[in-house]
Structure 1
Amino acid sequence: MNRSQVAFVVSFFSTSIILFTLSQFVRKQLADAGYHISDIILYGLNTTDYNRADEVTGESSWGLMDDLKHILTPQAFALTLAVITTVFLYVKVAHRRRKPVLNPQAWQEFPLKEKIVISPNTAIYRFALPHPQDVLGLPIGQHISVSAEINGKDIMRSYTPTSSDDDLGHFDLLIKSYEKGNISRMFSLLKLGDKVRIKGPKGQFNYSPTLATSIGMIAGGTGITPMLQIIRASLKNPMDKTKLSLIYANVNFEDILLKKELDELVDVNPDRFTVYYVLNNAPEGWKGGVGFVAKDQIQTYLPPTADDVKILMCGPPPMMNAMKKHLEELKYPAPRTVSKLVDQDVYPRSTWNGLLIDGAQVQCGLHIGTLLPTGYQINPVLANNPKSKGFGALRASTLPPE
């Protein structure tokens, strides 16, 4: 439950209690004055015989009004004021956020506030916003650009924060560092207080509760980050009824990022969210998938094709190529791009083909939807490299750099 929802629940119950207390107070005062609440509606009505209508007067109703004026004591006024104050406080709490910090036209620097180690080469990097009540201002489904000068060259990568605008005063980036990486290695060397340059939002995809009735997701490695952003946003919205299904592939068990959180989300939302893990090197007793993500697994664990169903994908390009083939054979519509990598202003459109995530290739896509980038840059070498195409049986893992 997010901050706004908590504020609403607290204010709702507080107001209800105050109104109930006020009603009981007024009821008691009326009873002490000789009026029963069930009889009040009769006051002022003609209860005499129509043949004696000339004897009817309005004294009863005016007498009640005089008594009500007497009953409206300072205590009743105080209770009414409490109701107004409660509503005012709710509005202040629910809308106290400052304007979004991100500016798509300007680079800004943010200091590292905290580093949460996930594994030896993976961590969540938490960056502070200028004010504790600030929000990043990133729409669900979009990403940010990170820039740094490395060896005299300006290097830029795109990342999808795992945090949302419900997280005030900071934003989180889940990053896996590579020995030969540029930006990812730079992140691993950051110390608390060090700053990074950020610009965004980037992309044209915006998630909404009405996007689809069911969404299937296929993620490999760090490709989980854009999926997690959407999963969190959907599941914490009580008005969102979208059903989510995730197939998450990795090489080893220890490579599964944020598994504990994913499993907890399944436990809390069993009717809306499912996860099926696939490992290339499965440990003894493993109950998930083994090897590559297969067509029958997609058919079993993802929603069937329909007009109101979408399939999100993010992972290594060979894996994505294999998944596209599986989806086509299962009669899913062909993917279309609405979040273009050209937004990064790195290379022209003609170089779209392979993607490089700091030494590991990653490609993202949405059948009937979008491309969701996370921590990668177009690699022009792969555009004419036959090794980046035509893989048959493909491992659900990141590839070594070319």
Structure 2
Amino acid sequence: MQDKRKLLDQPLHGIYIPIGLLLFGTWLFSWSYMPYTIAFIVIVFSIRYYGALKRRTSIDKNIWRDFELIDKTLIAPMTSIYRFKLYRDDEVLDIPTGHHLACCFTINGKDEVRFYSPISNQFDAGFFDILVKHYEMGKVTRKLAQLQIGQTAKFRGFVGNLNYRPGMAKEIGLIAGGTGITPILQVITRVITNLEDDTKLKLIYGNETEKDILLKNEIDEIAAKYPNFNVHYTVTYPDPEWDGSKGYINREMIEQYGPEVSDENMLFICGPPEMKRNLFALTQEMGWKQDNVFCF
């Protein structure tokens, strides 16, 4: 059923019909008032146009726009959070769950584009955050690392295929490796901030070392506050005092710490390409249907 409250947002009902009625009414009443009617129309719709410009979102799907860097924080070896200013202080980045922003730098005359998932939530106004792991040969990450406060980077978006809906699954197993935690965090945030979404979330998060676990304090805090969210960590090269799982994410970990194989449950996987390929093949061996497994 169509929402009648949105009719005035459509050009037909919000612009063309009102203008036509005003002009027709003036013509019936007296032609002498036509200049005043036209002046009134110009004023009213100039105000509406100005209001529409002010409400326009900062991020455009097709146009690259410059965003000012206002803060950057090193949170792990070679990993930083970059905060960029939106065009309005009261604007929040209304990004679909699990989607990404495209970031572009022109390097040696060629546009280099990489994709990053904002980790700021739908209540953060005036800015957005991206988490970036730097690589020695990474062209875009090197440019971001050299960016100074007050300088700008180009973004556009959003990009992604996940169509998350509250209640789309009874339980969702979230499997992340390294910076693959960023779109997974979007899912977690969207679920825990929606009082009507009672989806149970089970996160398995793999990294090379304990120091590489990104945003661990924040994730642990969420797990402590929300009973429907559980997290389990594994590291490939553990310290002697590490008491979590060791090694790559495997079948035993998914069976023990993830949801059971069921048409009511789903798995979301994000990490390096080889990890996603291996884990997707593993889920098929475990009996998961393809439609119940989503790889970012």
TM-score in terms of structure 2 length: 0.78
Deviation of residue 213 (structure 1)? Answer: 1.4
Aligned to 1:112: 69
Task: Provide, for residues 143-183 of structure 1, a one-character-per-residue CA deviation record: whole Å limited to 9, x for no partner.
Answer: 11111101221111111100133111000000011111011
CA distance in 2, matches of 1:154, 1:321: 28
> Which amino acid in structure 1 is aligned with residue 141 of structure 2?
S
Aligned residues: CA RMSD: 1.5
CA distance in 2, matches of 1:324, 1:203: 18
> Which amino acid in structure 1 is aligned with residue 220 of structure 2?
D
CA distance in 1, matches of 2:161, 2:249: 28
Residue 323, structure 1, aligned to residue 279, structure 2: yes
> Which amino acid in structure 2 is aligned with residue 326 of structure 1?
L
Which of 137, 147, 171 is residue 180 of structure 1 equivalent to?
137
Q: Is the Cα contact below 8 Å between 2:97 and 2:187 reproduced in 1?
A: yes
Residue 207, structure 1, aligned to residue 164, structure 2: yes
Secondary structure at the aligned position of 2:208 is classed as strand
CA distance in 2, matches of 1:300, 1:164: 30
User: CA distance change for structure 1 residues 204 and 334 in 2, over 3 Å: closer, same or farther?
Assistant: closer
> Which amino acid in structure 1 is aligned with residue 259 of structure 2?
P
Larger-gyration structure (1/2): 1
The number of equivalent residue pairs is: 243
User: CA distance change for structure 1 residues 98 and 133 in 2, over 3 Å: closer, same or farther?
Assistant: farther
Aligned to 1:311: 267
> Which amino acid in structure 2 is aligned with residue 314 of structure 1?
C
> Which amino acid in structure 2 is aligned with residue 120 of structure 1?
P
Residue 259, structure 1, aligned to residue 234, structure 2: no
Aligned to 2:243: 287
Task: Provide, for residues 248-281 of structure 1, a one-character-per-residue CA deviation record: whole Å limited to 9, x for no partner.
Answer: 0011110000000010111001x21111101111
Q: Is the Cα contact below 8 Å between 2:280 and 2:293 reproduced in 1?
A: no
Task: Provide, for residues 55-80 of structure 1, a one-character-per-residue CA deviation record: whole Å limited to 9, x for no partner.
Answer: xxxxxxxxxxxxxxxxxxxxxxxxxx
User: CA distance change for structure 1 residues 291 and 231 in 2, over 3 Å: closer, same or farther?
Assistant: same
CA distance in 2, matches of 1:319, 1:106: 33
TM-score in terms of structure 1 length: 0.58
Residue 132, structure 1, aligned to residue 89, structure 2: yes
Residue 276, structure 1, aligned to residue 232, structure 2: yes
Task: Provide, for residues 351-385 of structure 1, a one-character-per-residue CA deviation record: whole Å limited to 9, x for no partner.
Answer: xxxxxxxxxxxxxxxxx25442xxxxxxxxxxxxx
Aligned to 1:299: 255
Secondary structure at the aligned position of 2:240 is classed as coil
> Which amino acid in structure 2 is aligned with residue 324 of structure 1?
F
CA distance in 2, matches of 1:237, 1:134: 20
Q: Is the Cα contact below 8 Å between 2:104 and 2:111 reproduced in 1?
A: yes
Which sections of structure 1, spanning at least 5 residues, go unmatched? 1-96, 336-367, 373-402
Secondary structure at the aligned position of 1:231 is classed as helix
Aligned to 2:103: 146
Task: Provide, for residues 117-167 of structure 1, a one-character-per-residue CA deviation record: whole Å limited to 9, x for no partner.
Answer: 102311110000111101223111211111110122111111110013311
Secondary structure at the aligned position of 2:98 is classed as coil
Aligned to 1:227: 184
Q: Is the Cα contact below 8 Å between 1:98 and 1:135 reproduced in 2?
A: no
> Which amino acid in structure 2 is aligned with residue 184 of structure 1?
T
Which of 87, 90, 102 is residue 59 of structure 2 equivalent to?
102
Residue 195, structure 1, aligned to residue 152, structure 2: yes
Aligned to 2:120: 163
User: CA distance change for structure 1 residues 98 and 287 in 2, over 3 Å: closer, same or farther?
Assistant: farther
User: CA distance change for structure 1 residues 326 and 370 in 2, over 3 Å: closer, same or farther?
Assistant: closer
Q: How does 1:345-384 map to 2 (within 5 A)?
A: 368=292, 370-372=294-296
Secondary structure at the aligned position of 1:136 is classed as coil
CA distance in 2, matches of 1:119, 1:279: 15
CA distance in 1, matches of 2:282, 2:161: 26
* Identity, % of aligned positions: 38
Which of 267, 280, 290 is residue 334 of structure 1 equivalent to?
290
Q: Is the Cα contact below 8 Å between 2:172 and 2:200 reproduced in 1?
A: yes
> Which amino acid in structure 1 is aligned with residue 233 of structure 2?
Y
Q: Is the Cα contact below 8 Å between 1:224 and 1:248 reproduced in 2?
A: yes
CA distance in 1, matches of 2:294, 2:64: 25
Task: Provide, for residues 87-129 of structure 1, a one-character-per-residue CA deviation record: whole Å limited to 9, x for no partner.
Answer: xxxxxxxxxx944322112111100011121023111100001
Deviation of residue 286 (structure 1)? Answer: 1.7
